[in-house]
Structure 1
Amino acid sequence: MLRILVVLLVAGNLLLLGLHVSNASPVDPLADAPAWHMPAGAQRLQLASELPPPQPQPALRRQCFSAGPFETVPALVAAREALPAGVLALTARESEALVELGYWVSLPAATDFAAAHAVMQEVDRAGLHDVAVVGDRSGAFRVSLGYFLEEANARQRRDTARALGFAAETELQRETQPRYWLDYAYAMGMRSGALQPGERAISCAG
């Protein structure tokens, strides 16, 4: 009986102690710490959200140029490598050009190769040499009297053949060929000196 009373007494004391601890106010470990003050002249750190938005940078003023046309890709590459340092942007582009190749003097198309060959022999006997049978763009056979870069020379050959009784014709030969260009830009003031041959200033679009 005495043992039971002792156990009850101890349990009651523990219960009272628990109630006391649960009702006690929490202790602030920094409550008694001395106040901290920022040193004079020091700047307070700002959070990223507190900083003002960055101001947009002004657009870089440019000078723009174009060089060309170049007849081949190697010529384009050589021109690109020869550009002075400091290029901001560089673009290569391709276009088409209708090129005059020269003047062809020939006789009207024959019915077939044998007929054209017979006419060629007749022309040769008449004193017009350096002639040949060739196929034209339509596939017909013609007697070619020559190919000339200068129109005056072509007319002279034509007139000589006509004087011998042959209905010679002169036709300007044209061909579409690719041409290549370089478009590039420098910062304003970075490019000085006169424009190079084939180079011109252009508007800076965009």
Structure 2
Amino acid sequence: MFVRALFMLLLALNIGGACWLAFANRPPADVAPATDPGVPRLELLAERDGDDHAELASAPESPADLANDQCRRFGPFPTQADARAAMTALTPLTKRIRVREEHATQTRGYWVYLPAMPTREQALATARALAAKSVHDYYVVTAGDQQNTISLGLFRDQGNAERRRAEIAALGFSPKVNTRTEDLPVYWLDFALAGAEPPDLASRVAGAHEAHLEATRCQAY
């Protein structure tokens, strides 16, 4: 009986010692400092407060600042590359500058024609009448929205188109002149001057012969 009790006591002591070794608090391992002494800790933007984020954003100009600015627009330029080249030349003179795209209707030429006839046969008969009066530069449209129309020429210059119309009208026909247009993108520079406007500002942009400078209302951008 005594031997059995001694055995149970030793077993309990062994179990207790094993548990103490397994669960006892261990001293913390040495941790290397995140930075050298005297150097501020590196802080990620994601760790910063919302107020700090606001400080990083560019604050727009106040209405009072805009009221004191001198703003201009310069253009139009036919391509974005032309506008970018002008922007490079003018940027040193500005507080802020941007390229802005607009769409403009531009004249592409003038079309002289005889309006569409009701039938193909009538269009061909009119064409023969033109040929009989020594008019040979015409074309009978055979398909599409202008079918049975007789084209008498496309002209870049309006004066030439009007002379052609008068020439055909003198032969007893009733030609029309239609202005051909196209909607195309054009590009402008909007900017606020950094100081007084130089008298030669526009001439500083090479090749901008058709561009012009205008005063405009200041905007934040």
How high is the sequence identity, in percent, across the aligned residues? Answer: 34
What does residue 217 of structure 2 align with?
203
Q: 1:76 matched to which residue of 2?
A: 83
| 1:133-192 Cα deviation digits (max 9, x unpaired) | 347983433111112233332222122212223221122223322221111223234x53
TM-score where L is the length of structure 2: 0.54
Structure 1 residue 68: deviation in Å?
0.6
Match of 1:194 in 2: 200
What stretches of structure 2 of length at least 5 have no aligned partner? Answer: 1-63, 203-210
Determine if the alignment matches structure 1 residue 160 to structure 2 residue 160: no
Q: How does 1:49-68 map to 2 (within 5 A)?
A: 62-68=69-75
More strand by share: 1
| Alpha-carbon spacing, 1:116–1:82, altered in 2? closer, same or farther (3 Å) | farther
Q: TM-score, normalization: structure 1?
A: 0.58
In the alignment, structure 1 segments of 5+ residues that lack a partner are 1-57
Alignment-derived partner of residue 145 in structure 2: 138
Aligned partner of residue 188 in structure 1, secondary structure: coil
> Secondary structure of the residue that 2:85 maps to in structure 1?
helix
Secondary structure at the counterpart of residue 120 of structure 1: helix
- Pairing 1:102–2:116 present: no
The change in CA–CA distance for 1:80 and 1:133 in structure 2 (over 3 A counts) is farther
The number of aligned residues is 148
Higher helix share: 2
What's the counterpart of residue 88 of structure 1?
95
Deviation at 1:82, TM superposition (A): 2.4
Shift of 1:105: 1.0
The letter for the 1-side match of 2:151 is S
The verdict on how the C-alpha distance between 1:155 and 1:183 changes in structure 2, with shifts beyond 3 A counting, is: same
Q: Which runs of 4+ in 1 moved over 6 A?
A: none
Is the 8 Å Cα contact of residues 95 and 179 (structure 1) preserved in structure 2?
yes
